[in-house]
Amino acid sequence: MKTPPKSRNPKPAAAAPREWQLRLYVAGPTPKSVAALRNLEQICEEYLAGRYHIEVIDLMKQPQLAQGDQILAVPTLVRKLPSPIRKIIGTLSNTERVLVGLDLRPHGPDPSATRKGEPDAR
């Protein structure tokens, strides 16, 4: 019985990052800041379970930290790792936009843009 030939150059599977490092910049416990953190935690638990670290930076307590990531508005989410750095401003309530912004979901046509009875243009 013959054994199948081994590939000379096996291609490794695309390695997912071990841990996503996220920073959420807020300005105190405002309703928008609280909502952004809650929404981020829900998204991370659903899509990055066990593979993320969230650092919350309150610019009311540490305003000098805004300069490092060039924060102009709050709340702002900064994805430090994996590279490249990405930023999302707001309460993170639109899950689909957050997933695309974090590069967890590929960019693609808006599913609501396809009209009934017309072929999908993908």
Q: Is residue 67 part of a domain?
A: yes
CA angle, corner 37, sides to 55 and 20, nearest 5? 45
Q: Is residue 4 part of a domain?
A: no
Q: What is the pLDDT of residue 115?
A: 40
Say which CATH number the domain at 65 has: 3.40.30.10
Q: Is residue 32 part of a domain?
A: yes
Count the Cβ atoms, other than its own, within 10 Å of residue 30.
13
pLDDT digits 0-9 by tens, 88-122: 999 999 999 999 999 987 555 544 444 444 444 43
Q: What is the pLDDT of residue 8?
A: 47
* Rounded Cα gap, residues 50 and 32, in angstroms: 25
Q: What is the pLDDT of residue 25?
A: 98
**pTM of this prediction exceeds 0.85:** no
3, pLDDT greater than 80: no
Count the Cβ atoms, other than its own, within 10 Å of residue 13.
6
Q: Considering its fold, how many domains does the chain have in total? A: 1
Helices (H) and strands (E) in the chain, counts: 2, 4
Nearest to 89 by CA among 45, 21, 24: 24
* Single-letter code of the amino acid located at 102: L
Q: What is the pLDDT of residue 104?
A: 87
5, pLDDT greater than 60: no
Q: Is residue 118 part of a domain?
A: no
Domain containing residue 32: 20-101
Q: What is the pLDDT of residue 4?
A: 46
Mean pLDDT, residues 48-72 taken together = 95
